[in-house]
Amino acid sequence: MKLFYTLICICSFFSFAFSQIPISVEAFDEQGNNPKHLTLRLRLTNNTPDTLYNVHVKYFLNYERGRFLNVSAYYMDKATKSIDTVGDYLAVNIKIPKLVPGVFPNSSGISLGMNYLDNGSFNKPENFSYPDANFFIETERITVYLDDVLYVGVEPGMLPDAEPISMVSGSELLLGPTRRVRFAWREVENAKSYRLTVLSARDSSVLIRKVTEKNRVDTALNEGAYLWRIESSEYAVGNGLWNRITDAVKSTWNRLTTFIGNTIVDEVPPLVTPRGARKDTYLLDVKWGEMALVREWDRPHLHHEHYDDEESYRCWAVGAQMLNHYYGGNIPR
C-alpha cells in the first residue's frame, strides 16, 4: 500500500510539472502612476528540467513615428537589450544566452526603465504587452522565442487557427494528372490574412509556407503524407509579423495522405453510385453558410482532378434520384 501511494504521488507530481507551460513570464510596471515613465520589472521561470539556449524575449509597444524611445536596463545578468520595429509595433528585445531551470535573473526580476526623448507620455493601456499591475502577474503578451521560433506567448495580431473544410485531418486524396490539391478553410472573425504551412510528415521539413487574404490555396503535391495548418491574423498580407515562425512541436496540425492513381475502391451496394463518383450537378448543403462559394455549390465538380470531401455531398434532387434508382425506379437527372 505504501509503494502504491508513493507511485500515485510521483505520478501526480509529474502530471503537475508537465501541465505547466515551459517558460512562464511575469511582469509589472513600477511606475504605473507616472504617465511619462514606464519601469518594467520582468522575470522568467524555466519550468523545464533543461537548460535553454538562445532565449529571446519581446515586449511590444505601439510604434509612434517621430518619437524615440530610450531604454535603460538593470540587473540583466549577462542578458542584452535592443529595440526594433515589428509590423506596426516597437519591440524591446531581451536576449538571454542561457536560461537554466528556475527563476531568471532572480525573484526581483530585470528592470527596464523606458521614456520618450521628447519627455512625452506613454499611452500605457494601449500598448499590447503592458502589464497593468503593481506586482508581478503572469502574462502571455510578452513573448518568448527559442532560436527565433515563437515558443511561449501571443504576438500582436494573432488569432485562432482556421478550421479546415476541404480536407479534415486524416483525409486521403487520390491525385489527378496535375497533382493539384485545394486547401480551404473557414473564415476567422476579424482575420485579414492567413498563412498556410505544409510539412512533410516524415521529417517535419517545411514544404509550403504561403500568406494569403483568401480562404483557399491551390497547390501541387506529390504522393506522400503531410501535416498542414492555417494560422490567421488581424493584419494584412505583407505585415512584418508574418515573418515569425511558430513552434511546430506545440502547434495543432492536420494530417493529409495523397495517392497517385486512376480509381477509387469503395464497397457500396449494387446500383448505388460510389462516394467518389464525379459530380455533374450543382452541390448544395444548408450547413455550408458563408463557405458555399468555396465549396462551389453552384457549379458542377467535373473539373476537379482530385477526390476531396465535397465529393461526398449531393444536392437533394440527386439524393432523391439515387434512392429512387436503388429501389428500382428510373427518375432521370
Whole-number Å distance between alpha carbons of 153 and 197: 20
Pairing of strands 23-29, 137-138: antiparallel
Cα–Cα separations (whole angstroms), residue 330 to 128, 318, 327: 65, 12, 9
Measured in degrees and rounded to the nearest 5, phi and psi for residue 110 equal -70, 150
One-letter amino acid at 102 equals G
Pairing of strands 143-146, 69-74: unpaired
Nearest to residue 140, comparing CAs of 5, 23, 313?
23
Q: What does the CA dihedral 255, 258, 264, 267 come to, rounded to 10 degrees? A: -30
What is the pLDDT, as a whole number, of residue 169? Answer: 85
What is the pLDDT, as a whole number, of residue 176? Answer: 80
- The DSSP symbol for 64 reads -
Please, what is the end-to-end C-alpha distance for the chain in angstroms?
Answer: 72
Nearest to residue 110, comparing CAs of 66, 137, 76, 144?
76
- Classify 3 as helix, strand or coil: helix
Pairing of strands 89-99, 137-138: unpaired
* Cell output for 78: 549577462
Taking a C-beta distance cutoff of 8 angstroms, is the pair 190, 178 a contact? no
- Classify 4 as helix, strand or coil: helix
* Cell output for 169: 485531418
**Is the preceding peptide bond at 274 cis, omega within 30 degrees of 0?**
no
DSSP states along 224-266: EEEEEEEEEESSPTT-GGGG-EE-TTTS--EEEEEEE-S----
Containing H/E element for 148? none
What is the pLDDT, as a whole number, of residue 12? Answer: 38
* Cell output for 304: 476537379
Would you mind telling me the total number of residues written for the chain in this entry? Answer: 333
Which domains does the chain show, CATH number per domain? 23-156 (2.60.40.710), 159-260 (2.60.40.10), 263-333 (no CATH)
The mean pLDDT values, 10 residues at a time, for the chain of 333 residues are 40 40 93 94 94 94 91 94 88 95 95 95 92 93 87 84 84 84 90 91 85 92 91 83 60 83 44 45 51 59 52 56 73 71
Nearest to residue 254, comparing CAs of 146, 163, 148, 140?
163
